[in-house]
Each structure stands twice: as structure tokens, then as C-alpha cells.
Amino acid sequence: MNNNHKMVKRFGIGLCLLVASTITYAETATTNYQVSTVVNKLKFPWSLAFLPNNDMLVSERGGSLRMIRDGKLLEQKITGLPEIYVRGPAGLFDVVLDPNFSSNQKLYISYSGGSADNNYVEVISATLQDMALKQTKVIFTGSPRNTPHHHGARMAFLPDDTLLITAGDGFNMRDQAQSLDSMLGKVLRINTDGSIPADNPFIGEKGIRPEIYTYGHRNPQAILISKSNKIWLHEHGPKGGDELNLLKPGLNYGWPAITHGIDYSGAIISPFTEAECMEQPIKYWIPSIAPAGMTEYQGDIFPQWQGNLFIAALAGQSVRRLVLDGNKVIEEEVMLADRNQRIRDIRTGPDGYIYILTDSPQGQLLKLMPKSTVKH
Amino acid sequence: MVKTSVLFIGISLLATLLVCIVSTQIILAEVQSFGLSVSIPVRLHATMTDLVGLGPILFLIIASGFLIGFIIAKYAYQFIGGNRTAWFIAAGCTTFPLTMYLIQYTMGLTVIASARTPLGLFLITCCCIVSTWIYARLTLNNSNDNKTVQN
């Protein structure tokens, strides 16, 4: 009886210690960063770019390019955008600065052009002068489609200053992702004047679009070149099967011949998840998180996150922090899930903080910072 | 009324079964066009998987289309006349493509992947026509009885 009493007492103390340590750990885990709101009232913001003078450019899907200066969203919008086809997920997409922006003020903007029956991803180059785009030139026009869905339309510069552009499969035309005479479902590589780099993987091959860099993609909504010059891309899967891929020129990433997802209707898309000569994703998500933007953290503010990939999740309503060991994802942390916000884009600012765009008609620009630096 | 309802559900299920089987074969043909071979066990498994996964949504699409189509066919025959079976076949011929068109128009996408090509849509429509023809034949006596009563 006495022994039993002691055992219960010990068990109780042990349990208390366990609960206390769990709470302490959870407190530590949740208090090493905090979120503050930089700007409100962005209408479906899509992409973010940091100018050398600390201003920020934000594209809004509805067709507006906005400027944030001194932490405030300017009422005046950037003028000089081309005509944009806006419907559902189609509209104004990515904005990327030229690697030599400081000297040439050049930037690149992707958007959907055309009409409901015939629309396409288009990219312009332009120079930013005050609040206007000048010297606008169309440098890329993608293959036509008849849906407003799956444009992709993210861009990134390779170290040789060529531009990678992601192009979605257009939803209804998913088979085109495997067709090398179409630019749908591809990553494309061009020079900034719109010409084709002479060392593209399929250059000179008959019946193959020379712009193609990789193929077999569904709806790639983020692409980045890492510090070690790896090309990371993630893409929306259907119902399940969102993928994180490591790109290498000329390779086939499988969609829709192989996939880990099924169609929204519940139908199979392919009975295969792997096949010869088709690349496997580094990571895939079931159920879908609907990945949008992505950044590789290389700032000084969060030294513990050096080299981690941060992925914005729309349906997942969170940020996913991926810890990598070489080309393997060894850990995934779900962040900001308590905010219940669709996250459209995520970037590392030049100041080392992480900036996040939420996807809503009342979209926000959020700033992720260590808790100790939050000013009250 | 009960017999007609049972027949309607039965014929919607038959159409769903036919469309689902055809639909899977269209998708597998697409997969084969990418250079992958589909063995018979894989084909059978894919077909069964689709019956469970795609079947319910197909049934909803087909049954709701048939419901509207059959009502129109019934009254068209009653007020305009002509060949009763032809009216029902016309319903079978139009309801699925119209439903796909409406979904494409409102959502900007064709939700049933196998119906995205003209050939796929044609084959699916054939399944619907066969089903509606059977329905028209099976309900012929009901229709004649109604006409006799009215006379």
C-alpha cells in the first residue's frame, strides 16, 4: 500500500516535470520569432521585390504595381503596365529586378495576356523611372491556352544573367507538359532581350521549342537559385502531390505521366508515381499545401535558419520551413499556421528579415523577426 | 412513379459505369502516349480505382443532367410529338456536353479530364446515348399507359 502510494507520487512528480518541460519547450519554440504587419490593404498581392533604396514593389493580381516607401503603401500606382487579362487566378504576376538594376533601373514583369479563349504568360522588360515604367518591351510570350488557370509565371535569374520563367500547363492542356513543341508545363530560359541562349538544352533540335530548360511541370509557383547555385522549384500538384524539385537542364519532371496526386474529380491522372527518365521530387506533400513563393534564407537575423528553404502555402495557410541536408529535406516546421492566412509569397529582405505576402482582398505584407527586436 | 424513379437511378448508374470505364481508358491512353506501358493488371486496378474515386462525382453530373434532360424530353414528346426514343437520345446526346460547357464557362476549366478532347467528349456522349436509349425503351410501356389514360 505504502509502495503504491510512493509510486503514484513519483509518477505524479514525473508527469508534472514532463508537462512543465513540454510547456517550456513550446514557449521557446514559439517565441523565437514574431510577426509584425508592415502594410495592410493590398488586394491579392502576388510578388514582392526590394529596390536598392529600401523601397519595395508589390504586384497585385488584379493588375496593379504598388510601391511601399518608408513602411507605407503609396496611394499612387506605378503606371505603364501593359494590358493584362485578369480573371480568377490570371492577372499580374511576378516582378523581378535586373541583376544590374542599380545602374540600369531595369525590371521584368510577368502577367497573363490575351483573352479568355486565347491567353498566355507574357514577360516584359521595362525601366522604372519614378512611378512609371518606361521603355517597355515584350521579351517573352508563352503558348496559348483557354483557361485562366495554371500560369506559373515565376521568374529567377541564373548566375549567367539569363532569365528562367516558369510556365504552367494551362490546366485543360496538361498533356502539353510532356510535349516539347509546346511551352506549357515548362521552365523556359531566355536572355533579357528575349533571345534564346545558345547553350539551352534543346537548342537546334527539330520540333522542340528552343526556350525549354526543363519540362513535365504542372503549375510551378516558385523558382529560386540557391547560394550554391542549385535551382529549386516547387509546383502545385492536383489533389495531393505538390512537389519540391531540384532542376537540372533538359530533364523531365514527369507531370502528368507520373504523379503522387489524383485529379480534383477523384479520377486517376496516372497509375504511375515513377518512371524511367523522369525525375522524382525531392519532397512531395499529401494532402496539398498549394505552395506559392519560396526563399532560401541567407540573412544574418536568424543565424539558426541559414540555408533553410521557406515555402509559402496557400491551402496550407502557413509557411513551411525546410531544413536541408545536401539535397534531402530532413525536417519540416509548420509556421504561422495559427494566423489562418493563405500565404502567397515569401522573400528574404536585404535587411535579413523575412517578408511575407498574404493572399486575400485585404492582403498584408508581414515581417518575420526575432521576438527580442519587436518594438511595442 | 416508383418504377420510373428506380429506372432513372439505375440508368444513371449504368451511364456512370460506362462513362467511368471509358474515361479511365482515355486517361490511360494519354499516359501510354508519354511512352509508358500499361499492363492489364494496372489497367484493371486503375479502372476499379476510378469507379470508387471518380464514380460519385460522375454520378452527380450525369444524374442531374439526365433529370433535366429527361423532363424536357418527356414534355417535348408530349407537346411536340415525334419519336419518343429520339427525344431521349437527344437528351443523352446533349446533357453531358452541356454540363461540361457550363462548368468550363463558369469555372474556366473542364473538370472531367477525359472530356477535354473532342474524341473523349464524343466517346463519353456515346455512353450517355446508349444509356438514355435503354431508358427510353424500358419506359416505353409507362409512356403508352399514360397516353391511353389521357385518351
pLDDT digits (tens, 9 = 90+) for A302-361: 999 999 999 999 999 999 999 999 999 999 999 999 999 999 999 999 999 999 999 999
Residue A32: the pLDDT is 86
Q: What is the pLDDT of residue A20?
A: 52
Q: Which residues contact B31 (CB under 8 A, 6 or more apart)?
A: A256, A257, A270, A271, A272, B38
Look at residue B44 and tell me whether its pLDDT is greater than 80: yes
What is the DSSP annotation of A278-308? Answer: -PPPSEEESS---EEEEEE---SS-GGGTT-
Residues of A in contact with B108 (CB under 8 A): 87-88, 116, 147-149, 171
- Identify the pLDDT of residue B140: 85
Antiparallel, parallel or unpaired: β A231-236 and A242-247: antiparallel
**Given an 8 Å threshold on Cβ–Cβ distance, is B113 in contact with A149?**
no
Nearest CA to A319 out of A350, A299, A348 is that of A348
Q: Do A262 and B53 lie within an 8 Å CB cutoff? A: yes
Cβ distance A123 to A167 under 8 Å? no
Burial of residue A158, with CB atoms counted within 10 A of its CB: 0-12 exposed, 13-18 middle, 19 or more buried: middle
Edge-first strand order for the sheet with A152-157 is: A152-157, A163-167, A186-190, A212-215
Mutate to test the interface with A, among B21, B32, B34 (most CBs of A within 10 A): B34
The residues of chain A scoring below 50 in pLDDT are 1, 23-28, 374-376
Q: Is the ipTM of this complex over 0.95?
A: no
The class that CATH gives domain A35-282 is mainly beta
Per CB-CB distance under 8 Å, the chain A contacts of B57 are: 265-266
Q: Are B31 and A171 inside 8 Å of each other by CB?
A: no
| Beta bridge partner(s), residue A59 | A47, A65
Minimum-distance CB partner of B113 among A88, A178, A267 = A267
CA distance A299 to B45: 50
Nearest to A296 by CA among A313, A309, A282, A311: A309
In angstroms, rounded to a whole number, what is the distance separating the alpha carbons of residues A4 and A84? 76
Strand order in the sheet with A106-114: A92-97, A106-114, A119-129, A132-141
Q: Which residues of B touch A (CB under 8 A)?
A: 23-24, 27-28, 30-31, 33-36, 38, 42, 45-46, 49-50, 53-58, 108-114, 116
Chain B nearest C-alpha distance from A263 (Å): 8
CB contacts of A173 in chain B (<8 Å) are 116
- Amino acid at position A128, single letter: L
Confidence at residue A371, expressed as pLDDT on a 0 to 100 scale: 87
**How confident is residue B47, by pLDDT bands cut at 50, 70 and 90?**
very high
Going by C-alpha positions, the residue among A321, A367, A375, A376 that lies closest to residue A35 is A367
CB contacts of A147 in chain B (<8 Å) are: 108-109
Q: What is the pLDDT of residue A22?
A: 53
How high is the pLDDT of residue B64?
A: 97
Say which DSSP state A253 is in.
-
Q: What is the pLDDT of residue B146?
A: 53
Q: What is the mean pLDDT of chain A?
A: 93
- Cβ distance of A271 and B112 shorter than 8 Å: no
- Average pLDDT on B8-33 reads 98
Distance CA A331, CA A329 (A): 6
**Angle CA A34–A51–A66, to nearest 5:** 80
d(CA A310, CA A291): 10
Query: What residues of A are annotated to the active site?
Result: 150
- Domain extent listing, chain B: 2-145
CA dist A189 and A161 (Å) reads: 10
Residues in chain B within 8 Å Cβ distance of A116: 108
Query: Taking the alpha carbons of A30, A237, B60, B14 in that order, is the dihedral positive or negative?
Result: negative
Residue B139: is its pLDDT beyond 80? Answer: yes
Instruction: Judge: B112–A265 Cβ closer than 8 Å, yes or no.
Output: yes
Of B31, B33, B50, the CB nearest to A267: B50
Q: How far is CA A331 from CA A353, B69, B147, in A?
A: 21, 54, 73
Selection from A72, A4, A102, A86 nearest residue A44 by Cα: A86
Chain B contact set for A266 (CB, 8 A): 50, 53-57
- B36–A174 CB contact, under 8 Å: no
| pLDDT value of position B148 | 46
The verdict on a CB contact (< 8 Å) between B113 and A171 is: no
**Residue A15: per-residue pLDDT:** 60
pLDDT reported for residue A21: 54
Pick the residue from chain B with its C-alpha nearest to A178.
B34
DSSP state of A94: E
Interface contact flag, B36 A87, Cβ < 8 Å: no
